[in-house]
């Protein structure tokens, strides 16, 4: 199979590239060329977001194109505007954030995409940036459906929650935000008692899911699919399991959002908490396509090891760690009141 991969060095791209090569695909990677691709992979050096550079695909024909870098309708249009480019079937990485900008409550099913979109938050706030990301991904999905219909090809958007993987420490530091606090020996704040429900997807499993989908002769008219681990967990259960992986037993301090505000700790000081955390329901992917991903008890330990050692260890703190002194002061205040 001739496969084109747009974005092959990131959290999902690297394991996907390796999985495609292992299957025996003739793989072409289009990227800026700053990172080496695996042996045997053909590299096209081009900026995914530069329409002129995308002209390198003129005349290219593929059986499968996987786009990990389309974030809005314009990105999709630019790709399909390349002359004489035949993408074959197309998989576009989307996000569960497309549901968070609607008036529906989680967990979200694919049909919830059609729900009304909430009002635009105040510009340039954290809520607005999250809203903008979700709205633009929705527009990208619609553009993909239109382009695929015009070309008479199959295309599918994969809606995923927060993705975990060995390379995440080099990208977002989301898990590192908790690891760093657990390792420093101080008390660790748990917003709202850690009751927030979570759902993840392991990067290697997403790669395997894309390979499995491309093996199917047809996607049976499905143009969007939630891909996520089947079981939800709570924030508390996740970080307690994380502490066990680190062989630590920190003091957990339950705090409310109002207490964080009063202490001057920004509500985005830590990962996996707040309104903009997606929980897509993967029932269709499991029952109709057999895409049954691993739960966190299977992938968490190797991901933690990757965060602690070698080239995949983060080289900086999560941005919220700047509030660490205020967090500890709040924990001491809570302890004093309880005493």
What are the strands, taking DSSP E only, across the chain? 2-6, 26-31, 42-45, 64-67, 89-95, 155-160, 162-164, 188-191, 197-198, 200-202, 224-226, 233-234, 252-255
Q: In a 3-state reduction of DSSP, which class is residue 99?
A: helix
Taking phi over 0 as left and psi of -120 to 50 as alpha, with beta for the rest, 160 belongs to: beta
Distance CA 116, CA 119 (A): 9
Q: What confidence score (pLDDT) does residue 10 get?
A: 86
Query: For residue 245, what is the enclosing H or E element?
Result: helix 235-245
Distance of CA 295 to the CA centre of its chain: 15
pLDDT tens for each residue of the chain, 339 residues long = 999 999 877 899 999 999 999 999 999 999 887 567 878 899 999 999 999 999 999 999 999 999 999 999 999 999 999 999 999 999 999 999 999 999 999 999 999 999 999 999 999 998 999 999 999 999 999 999 999 999 999 999 999 999 999 999 888 899 999 999 999 999 999 999 999 999 999 999 999 999 999 999 999 999 999 999 999 999 999 999 999 999 999 999 999 999 999 999 988 899 999 888 999 999 999 999 999 999 999 999 999 999 999 889 999 999 999 999 999 999 998 888 876
Distance CA 96, CA 209 (A): 16
Q: What confidence score (pLDDT) does residue 36 get?
A: 76
pTM: 0.95
Distance CA 111, CA 99 (A): 10
Distance CA 194, CA 111 (A): 29
Q: What confidence score (pLDDT) does residue 189 get?
A: 96
Q: Which tokens hold the place of 295?
A: 């739960």
Q: What confidence score (pLDDT) does residue 293 get?
A: 97
Distance CA 69, CA 36 (A): 18
Q: What confidence score (pLDDT) does residue 275 get?
A: 87
Burial class for 152, CB neighbours closer than 10 Å (0-12, 13-18, 19+): exposed
Q: What confidence score (pLDDT) does residue 34 get?
A: 59
Domains (ranges, CATH) in the chain?
88-338 (3.40.50.720)
Greatest extent of the chain over all pairs of C-alpha atoms, in Å? 73
Give the β-pairing of 42-45 and 64-67: unpaired
Distance CA 154, CA 259 (A): 50
Q: What confidence score (pLDDT) does residue 170 get?
A: 83
């Amino acid at each position: 199979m001739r496969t084109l991969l747009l974005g092959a060095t990131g959290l999902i791209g690297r394991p996907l590239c390796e999985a495609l090569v292992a299957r025996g695909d003739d793989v072409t990677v289009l990227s800026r060329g700053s990172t080496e691709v695996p042996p045997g992979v053909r590299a096209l050096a081009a900026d995914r977001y530069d329409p002129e550079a995308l002209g390198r695909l003129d005349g290219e024909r593929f059986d499968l194109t996987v786009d990990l870098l389309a974030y809005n309708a314009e990105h999709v249009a630019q790709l399909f505007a390349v002359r004489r480019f035949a993408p074959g079937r197309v998989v576009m990485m989307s996000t569960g954030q497309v549901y968070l900008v609607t008036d529906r409550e989680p967990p979200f099913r694919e049909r919830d995409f059609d729900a009304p979109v909430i009002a635009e938050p105040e510009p340039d706030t954290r809520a607005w940036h999250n809203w903008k990301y979700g709205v633009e991904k929705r527009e990208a999905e619609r553009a993909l459906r239109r382009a695929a219909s015009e070309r008479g090809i199959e295309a599918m958007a994969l809606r995923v929650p927060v993705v975990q993987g060995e390379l995440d420490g080099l990208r977002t530091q989301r898990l590192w935000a908790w690891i760093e606090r657990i390792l420093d020996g101080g008390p660790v704040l748990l917003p709202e008692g850690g009751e927030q429900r979570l759902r993840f997807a392991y990067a290697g499993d997403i790669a395997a899911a894309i390979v499995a989908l491309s093996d199917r002769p047809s996607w049976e008219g499905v143009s969007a699919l939630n891909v996520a681990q089947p079981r939800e967990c709570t924030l508390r259960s996740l970080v307690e399991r994380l502490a066990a992986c680190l062989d630590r037993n920190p003091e957990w301090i339950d705090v409310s959002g109002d207490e964080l505000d009063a202490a001057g700790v920004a509500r985005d000081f830590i990962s996996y908490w707040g309104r903009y955390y997606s929980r897509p329901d993967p029932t269709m992917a499991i029952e109709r396509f057999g895409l049954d991903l691993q739960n966190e008890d299977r992938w968490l330990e190797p991901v933690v090891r990757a965060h602690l050692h070698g080239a995949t260890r983060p080289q900086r703190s999560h941005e919220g760690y700047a509030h660490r002194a205020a967090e500890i002061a709040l924990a001491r205040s809570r302890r004093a009141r309880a005493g």
